[in-house]
Structure 1
Amino acid sequence: MTLRVERDEATGVALVTLDRERRHNAIDLDTAADLAALWRELRHDEDVRAVVVTGAGTAAFCTGIDRSVEVAQPPSPYSVDDPLIAVGPKANDLWKPVVAAVNGMACGGAFYLLGEAEFIVSSTTATYFDPHTSYGMVSAYEAVYMAQRMPFGEVARMSLMGTAERLSARRAYEIGLVSELAEPGELLEAALRSARTLAGFPTRAVQGTVRALWSAKRAALQQALDQAPALIALGNLPPERQADLFGARRSGEAPRLR
């Protein structure tokens, strides 16, 4: 299995861990399917009233799509088969609160998960960045999700600057992307503490509030996501050229941390 799921019946909290530490918790097709299935399963588990999602190890929360994944794309520029489209809880109709505990790097496709969490608790050593443009790829879904959580100038800079810069945990907290900072050894307990509080409140009231919060921005979010397939199809370089840029970047200069 590519996920570890630990349910605490006493508190009503499930801890979901992306368990591909050697791959920096990148999401392959099996992980994507496992995540979608898990969120839908948790809809029916009355013993789980709140969720914490994190990544194994300390190097990365998630580094997006595993670059070994190959997905054949339709020939039309108006259609894109995105393997990460359903990895988030809201995409699977789960309205129980989800707290993200971010350890290490969170980049690219990680924003599908972070974009559908209620709030983020971050390690002080975590970093956030979006590598798409550096590799000749359009940041569409990722940029749209983050535009719901960050000031426009900040998400524009992160989306456009690619691998040249990384957003520090402190800066992410200052702009409101992150709601709480914790030292690395205290991260998980900080996230679980919030989840336990949420799980202890009346379930229908909590889920109704989650749904109300998302309804405030869901129409605009869906309209923006609908534009993503065409933008990706029109703007992405061919996969082999992306691979060339990825290989060259690995030996390049270190990113600036801000």
Structure 2
Amino acid sequence: MTIRIERQDGVATVTLDRPEKHNALDLADAQALAAVWRGLRTDRSVRAAVVTGAGGRAFCTGIDRAAVAEEGSVPQPHAPFAIEDPLLSIGPKSNDLWIPVIAAVEGMACGGAFYLLSEVEFLVATEESAFFDPHTSYGMVSAYEAMGMAQRMPFGEVARMSLMGAAERISGRRAYETGLVSELTPAGGALDAALHCARTLASYPPGPVQGTVRALWATKEAARTQAMTLAPPLITLGNLPPEQQTELFRARGTPFRTR
């Protein structure tokens, strides 16, 4: 199984476990991750959660394009006013889960990983972590990803990340300086730091904790929901045809800078 869950001390540790693929998600993984969050809604033994990636080289690199191509493309609506996106439901908030969720980021977090990172309460990351959004480099609109991260980052930072594509990466240090990351640890330390926070939250009465989580998200829901209604036509009209995206993706390997 490529999505693992462990429960201890009131905390669920959810691990994306495809390190050989940089923890990219295929269609089955996306469904399994959504099922994990839905299952935790009724699990009274769990009062906080941590989500992380196995292997140390990547937290998650979004959708596994090769696996999705083998499984068959996701059928799309005929009109540009809706879209079938397998990653739209991989986050805890999309599954109506209101226990606090903390992300422990080691290595790369890019593209579709932001569907998940945009729905956690806060991030812990290592000095060696790197955040980037390659969509524009591969002929795709960054819509849901940019909208989600715009709720977490200063506008200029998320605009630069979304537009610069694969040519530039944000270091763990820069992510910490801009507020995307709440705590920076040495390599290998993100999970322990996140678990420390999660165990503290799990020790508190669950009603006040979840009520506070819900209150915090209420402050941003309207803007996020309104923005996301524009995503389908922006993606449909702005994306290059799939075959051209594939050509650009296969030619990846352009040098990048880290700031």
Q: TM-score range by the shorter chain?
A: over 0.9
Partner of 1:64 in structure 2?
62
Q: Tell me if structure 1 keeps the 8 A contact 2:135–2:141.
A: yes
Partner of 2:225 in structure 1?
222
Aligned with residue 159 of structure 2, among 149, 156, 180: 156
Normalised TM-score (structure 1)? 0.97
Identity %: 67
State the 1:72 CA deviation: 2.2
AA in 1 matched with 2:198 = A
Partner of 1:17 in structure 2?
15
AA in 2 matched with 1:172 = A
C-alpha separation in 1, matches of 2:184 and 2:113:
18
Give secondary structure in 1 for the equivalent of 2:104. strand
C-alpha separation in 2, matches of 1:193 and 1:79:
41
Partner of 2:258 in structure 1?
257
Aligned with residue 103 of structure 1, among 100, 103, 106: 106
Structure 2: segments with no counterpart, 5+ residues: none
C-alpha separation in 1, matches of 2:180 and 2:201:
20
C-alpha separation in 2, matches of 1:135 and 1:74:
22
C-alpha separation in 2, matches of 1:139 and 1:180:
26
Aligned pairs (5 A) from 1:90-129? 90-129=93-132
Does structure 1 residue 182 correspond to structure 2 residue 185?
A: yes
Aligned pairs (5 A) from 1:211-250? 211-250=214-253
Aligned with residue 173 of structure 1, among 167, 172, 176: 176
| CA displacement, residues 132-184 of structure 1 (integer Å, 9 cap, x when unaligned) | 00000000000000000000000000000000000000000000000000112
Normalised TM-score (structure 2)? 0.97
Partner of 2:212 in structure 1?
209
Partner of 1:147 in structure 2?
150
C-alpha separation in 1, matches of 2:250 and 2:60:
20
C-alpha separation in 1, matches of 2:20 and 2:242:
24
C-alpha separation in 2, matches of 1:72 and 1:23:
24
Q: Tell me if structure 2 keeps the 8 A contact 1:105–1:128.
A: yes
State the 1:44 CA deviation: 0.4
Q: Which moved more, 1:139-148 or 1:65-74?
A: 65-74
Q: Tell me if structure 2 keeps the 8 A contact 1:79–1:233.
A: no
Q: Tell me if structure 1 keeps the 8 A contact 2:12–2:46.
A: yes
Does structure 1 residue 3 correspond to structure 2 residue 3?
A: yes
| CA displacement, residues 108-132 of structure 1 (integer Å, 9 cap, x when unaligned) | 0000110000000001100000000
AA in 2 matched with 1:256 = R
C-alpha separation in 2, matches of 1:190 and 1:53:
12
Q: Tell me if structure 2 keeps the 8 A contact 1:2–1:30.
A: no
Would you say how many aligned residue pairs link Structure 1 and Structure 2? 254
State the 1:30 CA deviation: 0.6
C-alpha separation in 1, matches of 2:92 and 2:22:
21
Q: Tell me if structure 1 keeps the 8 A contact 2:3–2:15.
A: yes
